[in-house]
Structure 1
Amino acid sequence: MKKNLLVAQSGGPTAVINASLCGVIREGMRHPEEIGMVYGAVNGIQGILEGTIIRVDDQFETAADFELLCHTPSSALGSCRYKMPSPDKGPEQYAKILAMFRKYNIGYFAYIGGNDSMDTANKIADYCYEHGEEVRVVGVPKTIDNDLPITDHCPGFGSAAKYIATTLMEVAADAEVYPMKSVVIAEIMGRNAGWLTAAASLTRELGGSYAPQLIYLPEAVFDPEQFVEDVRRELDKRDTVVIAVSEGVRLADGSYAAESMQSGQVDAFGHKYLAGVGKYLERLTADRIGCKVRSLELSVMQRAAAHLQSATDLEEAVRAGEKAVEAMLRGDTRIMIAYRRISDAPYRIAYETAPLGEVANVEHKIPRKWINEAGNDVREELVRYLAPLIQGEVSIPMKNGVPMHFSFDKTRLAD
């Protein structure tokens, strides 16, 4: 009897996470001899536990439907931030998952997500293996933070980087029109890894802008006193200074620079909710320098800006989903799809696999050697790494002047 394929999404949304979903579903449907039906779990692993399973392969009538899904931002199946305990601490949850796999005759499971999602996939894969259940589990990487190890980069990052570079260029253009001393501080996502903030450098390297003049990343120690001096020095050269700063920049003692601005609350995985470094630096600049200063927080806007999808990112995201199905059909399990960069110019990558156990709960950060000695800018090596990932434009399906989005019928299957 043919086994069925189940796919789910988890973690924060991106502009191309649904492109990977499209790749999984469409590739699954291309192999009717080996794969029966293609199911989706609504809201990730939480949906599997709650039995919210839907058919997805019967919701695509034309190739245009798949194309629309590829250009739809966020997680079309819904997401979750649900931390799976170890099997010895939550055996009933694993028993529920196994029961759902058996109920729907699941032989293939693709989980699209980031660090914590790969941990979940790894635990489920191990549990299935240890209990003799023939379910092939493959992780499909996804994170705008670009902090998964082994893979050269992650689907979702290139489009977020393109959005950040474009937005910072526009912010700088707005700020530079007045003949007065002013500072603009852009707070960008990045708890422990500064890949997103580093992408702000592409505005000057590729777009011809002079901004941002200063870039601060979590990988380099942040010194508020040095920050003030950096700003003063740049204001001596020009009227307007634009600054890009990661939300997670830390002081020498390891504490977050804006610790006093944060709530102290944590998510299901124990991660502190970060926000406030932009406002903190705005106040510091106003108090110590006294010029006009404003801060802005890109927040969730950088996560799902499908109108600025990178064509490179979109294509690779689809291929990652397809490669996951190909891997499962080869008999692979307990692995994640990974990219290996072959060259920068011309840009070429190869699709490989990485053991889930070596990916889960491991963060890939920017090498310190790619950041300047002062810790307030990036080096050319980092720009060369980033530049290919934002290349190419896409045509977004529009209706009445706004983008069109794909939507699943999420009516759960009858028991």
Structure 2
Amino acid sequence: MKKLKNALIGQSGGPTAVINASLAGAITEYLSNENCSTLYGAVNGIKGVLREEFLNLNEVFSDKSKIDLLMQTPSSYLGSCRYRLSKENDDEIEKIVSILQKNDIGYFFYIGGNDSMDTVMRLSKICHSNGIKAIGIPKTIDNDLVGTDHCPGYGSSAKYIATAISEMALDAGCYDIKNVLIVEIMGRNAGWLAASSALARTTSSTAPDLIYLPEKVFDDEKFLYDIRQKLLHQDTVVVAVSEGIKYSNGNYVAQSTSESKKDMFGHSQLGGVCKKLEHLVKNRLGIKVRGVELNLPQRCASHNASDTDINEAFKCGEFAVKCALEGESGKMIAMNRADGSEYDISYSALDISNIANSEKIVPDSFINADRNDVTDEFIKYALPLIQGERNIIFENGIPAYIKR
């Protein structure tokens, strides 16, 4: 049979604990084809494509044991970028097409979130006449991509957040004094991550006691009232809060602590809301309070990754290659949850033009009427995503990883 065209894969945006599992799935599926050619990896995403900085993944992963290490390695093995292609003209897109043709690349895969899907959409439109297939592989801990039940990366971040909340709640609750612990969790416009803190609740713990999401207006006075009500019945109150909570005027609560900077894509770079609320509680309630920002471990704690998340991320990469080889292009891989009590996921390829530049927020049915917690419907949705633990390969007492 005729040899396949070469393929190129890249990673973009914020890393996750399982983005490399999607890479592993794509590598495994492409190289398992007896007619495969060369699978290249773009170093630092689309910037690497523009620079023609490629790795020969056939050679790098000729030793299949490296795939096992890749599966448990956090961050982006190929390197990432936050680079927006110019929308003023198509010069960069046309340059990319020229580079792909020069290297006899017939398949392009891009693992990323919202902005990465926009790149795939634009590239697929121009590549259509050249026969180059472009497929997006979803990745984001924010869980805000539309069209898919959930996103690879979210389950592992949710598992880490719930674990951290559970452990910190035990630590904060060991003293017989009134105190408040405020935990800041990532999430600019969508509160999926902060909502996942509710998964910490077990038969031995009710923490977090309060959860505030950016989908609902935040009010300082109501926040203080909620804490006072909890303190009537308990010594320790644990609060989970999204970094992107806003006041009724549309301003981020975090903006009152420092000037908000913007990233390459025009998104506000947030952080510091827990310190703002820490000062508010201390000044108004006069009790012991501590603000904690979970920060980077939310997206790179692969030692505590969800095995469900790892396996689904792998299958997304695997399915992307299958779709491209069958002639699909301009699509993003989506996960579809079957109806019924048993958790079951299938995979499909959706038109990326219906996904790029859109955002899925936490629906009202997942948020309680008091705007300070989630509902049982959310728990039913999220709990299956954090199930399972992987048998991790260790070296000198710590998890072993692979580095480019």
TM-score (norm 1): 0.95
- Taking the TM superposition and a 5 Å limit, the aligned residue runs for 1:6-405 are 6-33=8-35, 35-86=36-87, 89-129=88-128, 132-204=129-201, 206=202, 208-343=204-339, 345-405=341-401
Count of aligned pairs between the two proteins:
402
Give the secondary-structure state (helix, strand or coil) at the position aligned to 1:299.
coil
Give the secondary-structure state (helix, strand or coil) at the position aligned to 2:229.
helix
Q: Contact 1:257–1:277 (CA<8 Å) still a contact in 2?
A: yes
Q: Contact 1:262–1:274 (CA<8 Å) still a contact in 2?
A: no
Give the secondary-structure state (helix, strand or coil) at the position aligned to 1:39.
strand
Read off the aligned partner of 2:78 and give its amino acid letter.
Answer: L
Q: Structure 2: how far apart are the matches of 1:390 and 1:308?
A: 10
Deviates more, 1:361-370 or 1:161-170: 361-370
Counterparts in 2 of 1:162 and 1:51: CA distance versus 1, 3 Å: same
Q: Structure 2: how far apart are the matches of 1:345 and 1:313?
A: 19
Give the secondary-structure state (helix, strand or coil) at the position aligned to 1:407.
coil
Q: Structure 2: how far apart are the matches of 1:236 and 1:27?
A: 58
Give the secondary-structure state (helix, strand or coil) at the position aligned to 2:338.
strand
Give a deviation string over 1:143-174, Cα, whole Å, max 9, x none. Answer: 00000001000000000000000000000010
Alignment correspondent of 1:411: none
Structure 1 residue 276, shift from structure 2 partner: 1.1
Give the superposed CA RMSD: 1.1
Runs of 4+, deviation exceeding 4 Å: none
Identity %, equivalent residues: 48
Q: Structure 2: how far apart are the matches of 1:262 and 1:195?
A: 24
Q: Structure 1: how far apart are the matches of 2:301 and 2:384?
A: 18
Q: Structure 1: how far apart are the matches of 2:291 and 2:383?
A: 26
Deviates more, 1:218-227 or 1:251-260: 251-260
Alignment correspondent of 1:412: none
Give the secondary-structure state (helix, strand or coil) at the position aligned to 1:147.
coil
Structure 1 residue 94, shift from structure 2 partner: 1.7
Q: Structure 2: how far apart are the matches of 1:248 and 1:334?
A: 31
Q: Contact 1:344–1:388 (CA<8 Å) still a contact in 2?
A: no
Give the secondary-structure state (helix, strand or coil) at the position aligned to 2:9.
strand
Q: Structure 1: how far apart are the matches of 2:170 and 2:189?
A: 29
Q: Structure 1: how far apart are the matches of 2:258 and 2:198?
A: 27
Structure 1 residue 346, shift from structure 2 partner: 1.6
Give a deviation string over 1:64-96, Cα, whole Å, max 9, x none. Answer: 21111000000000000001122xx23331232
Give a deviation string over 1:206-263, Cα, whole Å, max 9, x none. Answer: 4631110000001111111100000111111100000000000111121112211233
Give the secondary-structure state (helix, strand or coil) at the position aligned to 1:25.
helix
TM-score (norm 2): 0.98
Q: Contact 1:343–1:349 (CA<8 Å) still a contact in 2?
A: no
Structure 1 residue 321, shift from structure 2 partner: 0.2
Give the secondary-structure state (helix, strand or coil) at the position aligned to 1:237.
coil
Structure 1 residue 344, shift from structure 2 partner: 5.9
Give a deviation string over 1:299-345, Cα, whole Å, max 9, x none. Answer: 11100100011010000000000000000011000000001110463
Alignment correspondent of 1:4: 6
Give the secondary-structure state (helix, strand or coil) at the position aligned to 1:326.
helix
